[in-house]
Amino acid sequence: QVDLVESGGGSVQAGGSLRLTCAASGMTASHYCMGWYRQAPGKQRERVAGIDSDGTTSYSESVKGRFTLAKDNAKNTLYLEMHSLKPEDTAMYYCVAVGNCASWSYLPAGTQEIPLHGNWGQGTQVTVSS
């Protein structure tokens, strides 16, 4: 089965940067959609970034221009580079992988809907102080 392990979270001051890493194993499907959701206390999980099987990326309006996805296909590792962090970015960040998925188009960036057959990591906490 797919196993996802996130790392790289922590506490930073507003304006700072972090790079989150999602290390994947058991990736046996021919192609995947991968991405990041975040969830703040008392709020629903929200997709902030995603990458299609062909490399096309998508971002929510709240993070566009500040967050960047990068994928190392050889290592099955997904990165989320976060810059100019704001207190409202504070949340638990979850990596997700969807097997046999070509595109995130059916779940647009910013949606609070989650993929029915997604594989999830345990999450990594990001806290941004003002």
Per-residue pLDDT tens digits for 3-25: 999 999 999 999 999 999 999 99
Predicted confidence (pLDDT) at residue 35 exceeds the cutoff of 90: yes
Element containing residue 67 per DSSP (H, E): strand 67-72
The residue written with tokens 């906490």 in the block is 125
pLDDT value of residue 13: 98
Beta strands in 1-56 (DSSP E): 3-7, 10-13, 18-25, 32-39, 46-51
pLDDT at 75 > cutoff 90: no
Tokens encoding 85: 């962090």
Is the pLDDT score of 109 beyond 90?
no
- Which whole number is the average pLDDT over 89-104? 96
